[in-house]
Amino acid sequence: MTSAVELQGLSKTFQLSSGWGRRRVRRDVVAVDGISLDVPAGQAVAFIGPNGAGKSTTIKMLTGILHPSAGEARVLGYTPWKERRALVRHIGAVFGQRSQLWYHLPPRDTFELLARIYSLDRASYTRRRDMLIERFGLAPFLETAVRKLSLGQRMRAEVAASLLHAPRVLFLDEPTIGLDVIARQELRDLILEWNRDEGLTVFLTSHDAGDIERVARRVIVINHGRVVLDDKVSALRRQYLGSKILSVKFHAPVQPLVLPGVTTLKAAEYALKLEVDTRVAPIEQVMAAVLRAGSVADIAIEDPPLEEVIAHIYAQAPAGAG
């Protein structure tokens, strides 16, 4: 499979200056520290990390806005900072907190302007626009000024606008920020649909675990400018924490369970919620203890919430990071 995004030892160091005159000092701050990765075309990747981890700096280098201090990067075969204008014809970008739609005008007017900016052929532009209007359900508010749209409608129009020039890679920076549950789900489904049906490579940054679970198949976690985890989203919960949540309901009252590697999260007269560290207490051992404790009415074994996993990863600073 061909690569859509390739990074090799990509680094970025900023120089910070402070003070005046003789007291003026400069110091180097490493924002991105030798990142190497490869994203095949058509893959949906969540690129996550805590604030200040180096996500935005990396994306700015991948879109040609910033020059790296060291290393190489190729996006769709282009070196972004050397061939920015050629590259941006083939990539789209959506920023949850920055709109490219004209605030006082309807989305249709912005679409017309974008067709001009990208010098799109009239016939293919009209075809593409009409298809996006249909698939994103924009028709009811296409002629309504953007300022009068709900945030969910605006973000749908925003993503549609970024797909107008048929990009092959879409960079999404916090696309669901501020959206309600329904609007979030709608937007995630649309992005996923585009990734599956059109082979669009998706590069998503988000602090929302739901975005990561629903949209991405692979997650890359960076912290202190370095990649600290690169794995399938499905493997993340299973492997990284090695813990399970066990919820049990009994027919009769039971005593709390005391076992090494088992933490009681919640205890009621007829129910227990346990966190099991499977590296210390194998799950079958805990199950056997539960069955001995009383007559079981219902039992559920779950992975821990993704937020917890992510928080755990963020908390672990790589050795030597600063």
Partner 1 sequence: MIKRFANYLGLAAAYTRLNLGAQLEYRGAFVSQVAAMILNDSVWVVFWVLFFTRFPVLRGWNVADVITVWAMAAAGFGLAHAIYGNVLALATLIAQGQLDVWMLYPRALLPHLLLGRMNASSWGDALFGYGVYLAFVRPDLAHFAMFVALTLAVTLLFVGFGVLTGSLSFFVGNAAGLADQWRFAMITFSTYPAVLFEGAIKLLLYTLVPAGFVSYLPVQALRELSPGYALLTLLGALGITAAGVALFYLGLRRYESGNLMEMRG
CB of residue 107 to partner 1, shortest distance in Å: 12
Q: How many residues bind partner 1 (CB under 8 A)?
A: 37
The answer to whether 62 and 40 have CB atoms below 8 angstroms apart is no
* CB nearer to partner 1: pick between 113 and 289: 113
Mind giving me the DSSP string for 118-137?
Answer: TT--HHHHHHHHHHHHHHTT
Q: Binding segment for partner 1 among 81-89, 128-136, 206-214, 265-273 (CB under 8 A)?
A: 81-89
Cβ atoms 132, 163 nearer than 8 A: yes
Minimum CB separation of residue 213 from partner 1 in Å reads 28
Contact by Cβ (8 Å): 146, 179: no
State the Cα–Cα distance between residues 156 and 170, nearest whole angstrom.
Answer: 14
Between residue 9 and residue 68, which ones bind partner 1 under the rule CB under 8 A?
12, 14-19, 57, 60, 63-67
Applying the rule CB under 8 A, the residues between 92 and 151 that interact with partner 1 are: 93, 95, 98, 100, 102-105, 109, 112-113, 116-119, 145
Among the listed residues 249, 179, 164, 235, the one whose alpha carbon sits nearest the alpha carbon of residue 211: 179
| Residue 273 near residue 245, CB atoms below 8 Å | yes
Closer residue to partner 1 in complex, CB, 2/15: 15
What is the CB neighbour count within 10 angstroms for residue 66?
A: 19
Q: Looking at beta carbons only, is 111 or 250 nearer to partner 1?
A: 111
Applying CB under 8 A, which residues contact partner 1? 12, 14-19, 57, 60, 63-67, 81, 84-86, 88-89, 91, 93, 95, 98, 100, 102-105, 109, 112-113, 116-119, 145
